[in-house]
């Protein structure tokens, strides 16, 4: 299906495993004469640069092949950042209007090494595409975690972004391992939040520090009593030992302080989790935050948890949240 205003649930419930930020790589393609294949995986939104030309023509923010004059089709081979069970795709043709492909399909492979021709399965049968549009599609069911995807476009043209939404399947974690329990690569994900007027909440679980103020979670200015919050499901259940909160680049708009609640929860829906989170145990009492800094807090907790709720007071933005501890 093609949807613009109401994306399917997998966009909110799953992780983009084809994120360049997480480590996904466009390994090979049939042709990228007009626009480099790696741009297909950029985490930033595609932009159109009117009047910007390189040696091969108009600069396009995405992957674009030349015009085919014979048979066949073009393809791009992508190694996902982490293996996972694929839920769906977003094929975005933003700014490609007279040069988008009219059709596409996607294959996947569980192979550890670069797949051979007989190691592919169909994840998306051929579908029709339109120009300058998001296209959301459910993935076909599969039994093994997917490590590679191949985007096929018919017959040629350009795609701005490909997002492959799925649930990471990390290598088996032994009990007692010291880990970043909330890491996106281990399956950590944002479940809910009070507000996200600026930025993208999901990026607070990504590796590294933010590159700018847009690379984080920021709320609108609060004009009524209360505070903001964000709930994270840990990728690996465990006992929290340390919390890191990074306000990188947030200088005039960082929260004045924060606290952290946590609980061990069954697999409930979003609304049930949000309601019950009001009553979770506080594992980190209120702490003051400062601008553009990494704040590290030790946590004295002995109970295993699956979810955390970060409260920020009264509003503002943070770049990263890391929950570190011991797996169970």
Instruction: Encode pLDDT of 155-210 as tens digits.
Output: 999 999 999 999 888 777 889 999 999 998 888 989 999 999 997 798 899 999 99
Q: What is the pLDDT at residue 173?
A: 83
pLDDT(3) > 80: no
Mean pLDDT (whole number) for 253-259 = 98
Helices H / strands E in the chain, number of each: 2, 23
Same fold across 10-168 and 178-327: yes
Q: What is the pLDDT at residue 15?
A: 84
DSSP letters for 89-114:
EEEE-TT-SSS--SEEEEEEE--SSS
Instruction: For residue 22, count CB atoms less than 10 angstroms from its CB and return exposed for 0-12, middle for 13-18, buried for 19 or more.
Output: buried
Q: Distance (Å, rounded) from C-alpha 34 to C-alpha 42?
A: 17
Mean pLDDT (whole number) for 20-46 = 95
pLDDT band, residue 101 (cuts 50/70/90): very high
pLDDT band, residue 2 (cuts 50/70/90): very low
Q: Is the domain covering 10-168 a CATH 2.60.120.260 domain?
A: yes
Q: What is the pLDDT at residue 5?
A: 53
**Tens-place pLDDT, residues 139-153:** 999 999 999 999 999
Mean pLDDT (whole number) for 212-223 = 95
- The pTM of this model reads 0.80
DSSP letters for 235-299:
EEEEEEEEEEEE-TT-SSS--SEEEEEEE---S--HHHHHHHHTTPEEEEEEEE--TT-EEEEE-
Mean pLDDT (whole number) for 247-271 = 96
Share of the chain above pLDDT 90, in %: 84
**Tens-place pLDDT, residues 50-74:** 889 988 999 999 999 999 998 999 9
- What's 56's DSSP letter? T
Q: What is the pLDDT at residue 313?
A: 98
The CATH number for 178-327, chosen from 1.10.10.10, 3.30.565.10, 3.40.50.10610, 2.60.120.260, is 2.60.120.260
Domain ranges of the chain: 10-168, 178-327
Q: What is the pLDDT at residue 297?
A: 98
Share of the chain above pLDDT 70, in %: 98
pLDDT(4) > 50: no
**Tens-place pLDDT, residues 266-282:** 988 899 999 999 999 99
**Average pLDDT taken over every residue of the chain:** 94
Task: From residue 228, give the alpha-carbon distance in Å to each of 107, 194, 202, 218.
Answer: 41, 6, 16, 10
């Amino acid at each position: 299906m093609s949807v613009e205003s109401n994306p399917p649930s997998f966009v909110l419930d799953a992780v983009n495993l084809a994120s360049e930020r997480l480590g996904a790589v466009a390994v090979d393609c049939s042709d990228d004469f007009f626009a480099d294949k790696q741009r297909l995986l950029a985490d930033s939104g595609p932009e159109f640069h009117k009047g910007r030309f390189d040696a091969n023509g108009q600069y396009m923010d995405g992957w674009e092949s030349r015009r085919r004059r014979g048979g066949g089709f073009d393809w791009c081979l992508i190694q996902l950042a982490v293996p996972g069970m694929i839920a769906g795709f977003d094929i975005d043709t933003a700014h490609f209007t007279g040069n988008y492909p009219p059709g596409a399909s996607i294959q996947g492979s569980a192979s550890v090494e670069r797949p051979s021709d007989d190691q592919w399965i169909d994840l998306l049968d051929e579908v029709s595409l339109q120009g300058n549009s998001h296209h959301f599609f459910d993935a076909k069911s599969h039994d093994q975690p997917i490590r590679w995807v191949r985007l096929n476009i018919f017959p040629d043209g350009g795609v701005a972004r490909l997002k492959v939404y799925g649930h990471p399947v990390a290598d088996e974690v032994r009990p007692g391992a010291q880990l970043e329990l909330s890491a996106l690569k281990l399956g950590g994900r944002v479940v809910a939040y009070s507000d996200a007027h600026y930025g993208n909440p999901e990026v607070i679980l990504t590796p590294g520090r933010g590159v700018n103020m847009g690379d984080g979670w920021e709320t609108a200015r609060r004009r009524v009593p209360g505070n903001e919050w964000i709930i994270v499901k840990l990728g690996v259940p465990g006992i929290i030992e340390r919390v890191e909160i990074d306000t990188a680049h947030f200088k005039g708009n960082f929260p004045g302080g924060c606290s952290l609640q946590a609980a061990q929860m069954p697999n409930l829906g979003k609304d049930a989790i949000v309601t019950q989170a009001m009553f979770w145990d506080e594992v980190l009492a209120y702490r003051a935050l400062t601008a553009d800094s990494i704040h590290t807090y030790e946590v004295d907790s002995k109970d295993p948890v699956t979810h955390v709720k970060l409260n920020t007071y009264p509003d503002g933005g943070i770049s990263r949240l890391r929950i570190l501890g011991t797996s169970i």
